[in-house]
Structure 1
Amino acid sequence: MTTPISFTPPPGARAHRLHTARGEFAVVDAPVAAGVEPRGVALLVPGFTGSKEDFHLLHEPLAARGYRTVAVDGRGQNESDGPAHDEAPYAQQELARDVLAQAAALDTPVHLVGHSLGGQIARAAVLLDHSPFVSFTLLSSGPGRISPAQQQRVRLLHEALAVLTMSEVWEAILAMGPPEEVGGPARGLGGLARLRQRWLNHKPAQLLATGRQLTVEPDRVDELAAVPLPFHVLSGARDDTWPVTVLDGMGVRLGAHRTVVPDAEHSPNMDQPLPTAHGLADFWDKVRQDRGDL
């Protein structure tokens, strides 16, 4: 069982379990702000070693723009349960079906947002069935495998998980320097104790399976471009996981709306949450306008 980490939900939001045909998933669900006309619903899928809390700073500004946002912990990720040592349930197609089940449980068309690994899982979901989605935003998520430097980091993590406990791996991570989540704007997500508990909540099999996916993921942009959805590529101005030039090229191939957030890196949702939220809402407003919903 996972241990609650007691992050305080953003104002107006609530943490609960989303019941789906594929099990329960921990979510943070933020309704539209009082007195604001509802404009849509978004499902937010986090990245490798991340969680629903990575989107905490987006909920309030998006609620003010009329968008309900539901951030989810994937299977075996933080407060969503999953097997600790069996990697089969974490195959990309299985995780993609989880995303489709989450969207179905919301019972309304949704704007899909996937950060990093979450973008590739969300892409697999869209390729299985795009019908639940109004649009798809790839947030700092590239066309294929991660950069060679990041592949090496994943290999080191895999080697550590083979011989160390999750707690021991956390201590090794700290020995190399504090996690980036501790500093900058993201420090509002909690101190080291909460980040440690989030790490311990992750299932090792989930980290092993999804980390491997990041190192071998093929370029599926041409497949995605054939899907009749509006696409959005949003990133920071710098990124060492997929170079920004690679993300630019992906956006061109998709015919996507492109947003680059200044003074942000691989997690603009935490580095610069307000301009990131505005970039998302501006795109969603444009989708509404193009659909004739405004």
Structure 2
Amino acid sequence: MTVNLSRLEISRGELSYFEATPDAEVKGTVVMVPGFTGSREDFLPMAPFVTAAGYRLISYSQLGQYDSDGPDGRDAVGEYTIAKFALDLAEVLDKVAPGEKVHLVGHSFGGLVTRAAVLNDPSRFLDYVILDSPPSGQTVGTAVDITQIPELLWAGGNEALWTAMFGTLEEMFPAPVKEFLRNRIMVTKTANIAGIALTMGAEPDRVDELAATGVPILVAAGADDFVPVDVQIEVAARLGVKFEIIEGAAHTPNEEKPEELTKVLVDFWGEVV
């Protein structure tokens, strides 16, 4: 496996990304999109397993996320919408996999971005995995009310969000992990966090539209996900597709159970192709 950490230019700025390639023949390209306060690093634990299965793996930090460009300040909040992030994804694909159909994975908020991208151009994707993602902004299930996040940020900055989201959970993280997570939130553009909270809160249920695309889909979630698992099971049922539970994982099976999640994905990709 070879891993390259780099940056790519799209019309709205430079984004940080990584590319992991197998040492042997490549079966296809997988693009994974991170969620709220996330980054490309969320999928690095999967790289050894995905490449061992013969796939090229690419993930990037979305505009305004950790180590990517992006405008900041109250006036920039409107730059961080699901619709604009979906257009960014299309540009990323043109850069990293021009003319190639890819396997797509969207995690959490990234699931809403990837859904919009699939609806924009279903022909661009071999298949699509919805990972720990709600069908609408009204079914997020977070402990923090997302509608209150912008005012929380303007009043107390990113530090206030860290305290609200992770303050009671800090002791569960090893020191290096906690340090990385905290630093990541601190350097994420505040407008990105506020904008995502607003666009996510307003996102309607588009499951029926997605079903009409004909793109092969899998829905997967950690057994202890905070996004209600029964809601995600219902999404799979409405789509008429398989739902996979990742035991021993919560909201981030890509980090908690990367080998187990990869096996589920590889089995799905094998069925599609």
Output the TM-score relative to the length of structure 2: 0.91
Amino acid at match of 1:19: E
Q: Which residue of 2 aligns with 1:252?
A: 237
- Residue 29 of structure 1: how far off its partner (Å): 0.8
Percentage of matched positions with identical amino acids: 34
Q: Which runs of 5+ in 1 are unaligned?
A: 1-10, 289-294
Are residues 1:123 and 2:108 paired?
Answer: no
Q: 1:170 to 1:266 in 2, by over 3 A?
A: closer
Confirm or deny: 8 A CA contact 2:144 2:165 kept in the other structure. no
Output the TM-score relative to the length of structure 1: 0.85
Amino acid at match of 1:31: T
Q: Which residue of 2 aligns with 1:70?
A: 58
Q: Which residue of 2 aligns with 1:145?
A: 137
Q: Which runs of 5+ in 2 are unaligned?
A: none
Confirm or deny: 8 A CA contact 1:123 1:224 kept in the other structure. yes
For 2:238, what is the secondary structure of its paired residue?
Answer: helix
Aligned mate of 1:239, from 222, 225, 229: 225
Q: Which residue of 2 aligns with 1:5?
A: none
- Residue 12 of structure 1: how far off its partner (Å): 2.4
Q: Which residue of 2 aligns with 1:15?
A: 5
For 1:84, what is the secondary structure of its paired residue?
Answer: coil
Q: Deviations over 1:39-80 (max 9, x none)?
A: 110111001111111111111100000111001100001111
Alignment of 1:1-294 (within 5 A): 12-32=2-22, 34-35=23-24, 37-85=25-73, 86-106=76-96, 107=98, 108-147=100-139, 149-150=141-142, 152-167=144-159, 169-170=161-162, 175-178=167-170, 182=173, 190-241=176-227, 243-288=228-273
Aligned length: 269
Q: Which runs of 4+ in 1 moved over 6 A?
A: none
Confirm or deny: 8 A CA contact 2:8 2:17 kept in the other structure. yes
Amino acid at match of 2:129: T
State the distance in 2 between where 1:175 and 1:142 align: 24
For 1:165, what is the secondary structure of its paired residue?
Answer: helix
For 1:87, what is the secondary structure of its paired residue?
Answer: helix
For 2:2, what is the secondary structure of its paired residue?
Answer: coil
Q: 1:227 to 1:279 in 2, by over 3 A?
A: same
Amino acid at match of 2:266: A
Confirm or deny: 8 A CA contact 2:131 2:221 kept in the other structure. yes
Confirm or deny: 8 A CA contact 1:29 1:71 kept in the other structure. yes
For 1:111, what is the secondary structure of its paired residue?
Answer: strand
State the distance in 2 between where 1:22 and 1:161 align: 24
Amino acid at match of 1:246: V
RMSD of equivalent CA atoms: 2.1
- Residue 163 of structure 1: how far off its partner (Å): 1.0
Q: Deviations over 1:4-55 (max 9, x none)?
A: xxxxxxx6211101233543211011002x23x3111011100111111111
